[in-house]
Structures are given as structure tokens and as C-alpha cells.
Amino acid sequence: MNLVIDIGNTYIKIGVFNESQIVYKDVIEQVDFKETISTLKRNYPLITDAIISSVSNVREELTEHINVFFKTLVLDHLIEMPFENLYRTPKTLGLDRLALVAAAVDQFPGKNVLIIDAGTCITYDFKNNKEQYFGGSISPGIKLRYTSLHTFTAKLPLLELKEPRSVIGDSTEEAIHSGVIHGVLNEIKGLIEEYCNIYPDLTVILTGGDAHFLSKRLKNGIFATSNFLLEGLNYILAFNNSR
């Protein structure tokens, strides 16, 4: 069994896999990390290997704590990937984006795939049917857009995510909700259309914290999944252990 750990901007996502099947997942705060790992070791004694991915530098004490229990792979840009990376500046590429592409290679081999990860930022990543990764784009996520409107203006309030009642906001709050949500939705629809003009057989994956909210407002034909990043990390671990 494998333990998969993704240290994000705000929370830590954890998954336990029996081969390719996820049998446990949780989202925790960093202060709960050591206790959670000890509990998982007791509850899943068959775990032998672990992989850690982080959008920032992994605290050494966290890595050392994992190494006490499991053979651990710390994801970086030197680790071999199950695809050809054609990104021009690979050292600047987020490790979470590598994991998402790995999941696409594993689950949609031989297909042109666009992965949309709607979290703090919205990232778009593309791999073709030859398992070549080209890159994509990055834009502010929903929460970041709300925060930016409040932070960089004098009077606009800080709002929480809410479904706009209409595209025409009849109050400042409704105008913000309309601008943020319709802005994100039309951005996603527009980029999908741009990719489809080049790759008509495109497969689109939507994942990340806001995927559930957005998927209900986008057309059918988009695969929405909450575990794609963890599944990609598990595949990277399995891929490296098999070599």
C-alpha cells in the first residue's frame, strides 16, 4: 500500500492507496500532520511507501517524520515522469501540475487531455496523444478573485462564494458575484473552445476544490473528479518503484 501526501497552500491532502484504488483520504491542517501519520500507520500497517509533493518547500521535520515509518519519495523536478516534459522552464513548473499530467497519462493514455485544476489558482495543463506535456496557463481562482477585489479597491466588500442570481448584478454584492463567477465560467468555456479548435477529440478533466461548484454550471462531457491529483502522485510513485 502507498501513502500519498500533497502539501498545498492552505491544507494537506492525504490518500492511502491499495495499488491504484484509493481506500482512504482526508484533508488536514499542518499542525495535525504528525498525529495523522501515526494514526494511519496503525490503521494501515501494510503501507510501505510514501510520496510527498508540496507547492512550497517541504519542512524537513515533516519529511523526517514520514521517513521513520515509510520508504519516502519527495517529488521534485529530477524525478522521472511517465511522459515527455516539453515545458520550456521545467524547474519553475508546479509539482502539482506534474502530478495531474501523470494522472491523465495513466487514466487516458493515447488521448489529448486538458486538465483544469480549480483551486487557489486555476491551472490548465495539456498533454497530447503521444504522452507529451506542453504546458498550459494559470489564472486566479474564485477565492483569489474575491480577495483581490476587496484588497486592491477602497470600498468593495470581501464576499464568500455565492451563486449569482443574474448576469446583471443589481447591487454591488450581486455585481461582484456575477463578475467573479461568470468571469471564471466564461474563461473556462473559452479556453476549452480554443483547445477544441486545435484538438477536436479533446478530453477535459475538471478537478480541484471548486470543481464540484463549477461542474454543475458547465456543459456535459467534462470529467469532474476530486482525487485526480492524489491519483497522479500514486502513479508517479508506482512508476518510479517499477523502474
Evaluate if residue 70 carries a pLDDT over 80: yes
Choice among 32, 76, 96, 210 that is catalytic: 96
- Regarding whether 100 and 174 lie in a shared domain, the answer is yes
To the question of whether residue 9 is assigned a binding role by annotation, the answer is yes
User: What pLDDT digit, counting tens, does each position of 31-62 carry?
Assistant: 888 889 989 999 999 999 999 998 766 667 77
Instruction: Provide the domain count of the chain.
Output: 2
CATH number for the domain spanning 10: value is 3.30.420.40
**Domain limit, last residue, from 74, 98, 123:** 74
pTM: 0.91
Q: Is 97 annotated as a binding residue?
A: yes
Q: Which domain holds residue 112?
A: 84-233
Position 240 in a domain: no
Boundary of a domain, candidates 52, 74, 96: 74
Average pLDDT (145-166) is 95
- Residue of higher predicted confidence among 180 and 65: 180
Greatest Cα pair distance in the chain: 60
d(CA 95, CA 134): 15
59 within a domain of the structure (yes/no): yes
Ligand-binding annotation for 110, yes or no, is: no
Regarding whether 136 and 228 lie in a shared domain, the answer is yes
Ligand-binding annotation for 42, yes or no, is no
Whole-angstrom distance, CA of residue 233 vs CA of residue 225:
15
Active site residue 96: yes
What mean pLDDT do residues 119-140 have? 97
